[in-house]
Structure 1
């Protein structure tokens, strides 16, 4: 099945913008939202110039404004004449060791990555249930596989919540016309990964996005991307001694 009309949140940079470019090259119509509208407008101009046959709609959206999420999703649906796929991609990578006086950073990360992710899933599935079709994609992380220490604790916990949300929805909707995919990307070269200092195993943005889009198109229930080495590490991480995990903080 070709999902022609695709909504992507957090599309102003990084993985969101990368996926927008990849899907535009496949001739898909796009609904792009993020806080930075100027970036979205520049991206729209780039995409329609490179691919004149597609439609690109943009809206400003702060996903932490939970009441605004269903309104913006509905506006974008109406502008494109429907939505076939929603990619919940907006996220935050701030974090400090828990209990060190910066609870605001950890709470912001947990709220943006999980609570706002849930709000986006609610809005997308309300649309999909009414039309009895659609594909929900949740962007989690390989950090969800194992709790991580230090500045990554809140981030890993928030992404574990996203993976659990995707698993529950995929189980609930397994016999319905609505598909659910959870992606767990490894280290892909974005600003967020650079700030986290995860230099090892980082793959170029284009390669990482290509692996993500391929898994999305297959509508895999859960995928670690790129497959190598992350599919293998998905099995290894839960078995590693805590002394080794402690070095990842």
Structure 2
């Protein structure tokens, strides 16, 4: 997504745990797009104090941040009650509690200047409570979507926008060792579609819209027993 936004001439504030990868990316983008400014910081979003500090630092460095994308997440959960509370807790802490910290830090900046665009990356897994190793993940992503909906209502009628994106399966490092997944798309296509969706500033959007929008409609209405049988086909 950083490459997609850079190609559109956007200044970038990039955060991740592996600073060396961010610095490599900054060099690549600066060479391709010499007119943009790029700030990078090492950040573990589970260090909540650091989230607020880093957001403030990058806001000052770049002369104001007008969009924040809450994208950090993990998916290491296991079936509830099988001795892996630590994995489910880590998933919930990163995918929801740390996301809450990022939303708080972003909204502080936006409320101060009366404008901004908050984007939270939920998942199609948020549509229903899912069984097995997906239970904590889907619950966390559903909580994130509810958080964004509340924020959207809170700032309704103001220049502050809040978008919730529900991506389907995108082949990234997080799931590169996963088995067969339905309707998987590549990271380049997924990044392009996510970026295009953000630029529209929607209240919510499935990415890609086909087939996930109609599938989400159906998933919400399937009996739990049918949903469980369907998901047994996938790991």
Same fold (TM over 0.5): yes
Cα deviation per residue 1:69-99 (whole Å; 9 max; x = unaligned)? 1100000011101111000001111111011
Cα drift, residue 67 of structure 1: 1.1
State the secondary structure of the residue aligned to 2:175: helix
Q: Distance in 2 between matches of 1:244 and 1:39?
A: 43
TM-score, normalised by the number of residues in structure 2 = 0.95
Q: Which range moves more in the overlay, 202-211 or 20-29?
A: 202-211
Q: Distance in 2 between matches of 1:234 and 1:191?
A: 25
State the secondary structure of the residue aligned to 1:209: helix
Q: Distance in 1 between matches of 2:48 and 2:179?
A: 31
User: Match of 1:169?
Assistant: 151
Q: Note if 1:248 corresponds to 2:218.
A: no
- Structure 2 residue runs of 5 or longer lacking an equivalent are none
1:215 to 185, 194, 197: 197
**Alignment root-mean-square deviation, CA:** 1.1
Q: Distance in 1 between matches of 2:212 and 2:98?
A: 26
Contact 1:149 1:245 survives alignment (8 Å): no
Q: Distance in 1 between matches of 2:189 and 2:36?
A: 23
Q: Distance in 2 between matches of 1:198 and 1:155?
A: 18
4+ residue runs of structure 1 moved beyond 4 angstroms?
Answer: none
User: Match of 1:149?
Assistant: 131
State the secondary structure of the residue aligned to 2:118: strand
TM-score, normalised by the number of residues in structure 1 = 0.90
State the secondary structure of the residue aligned to 2:195: helix
Contact 1:187 1:198 survives alignment (8 Å): no
Q: How many residues align?
A: 231
User: Match of 2:209?
Assistant: 227
State the secondary structure of the residue aligned to 1:107: helix
State the secondary structure of the residue aligned to 2:90: helix
Q: Distance in 2 between matches of 1:155 and 1:198?
A: 18
Q: Distance in 1 between matches of 2:97 and 2:90?
A: 10
Q: Note if 1:192 corresponds to 2:174.
A: yes
Q: Distance in 2 between matches of 1:23 and 1:162?
A: 24
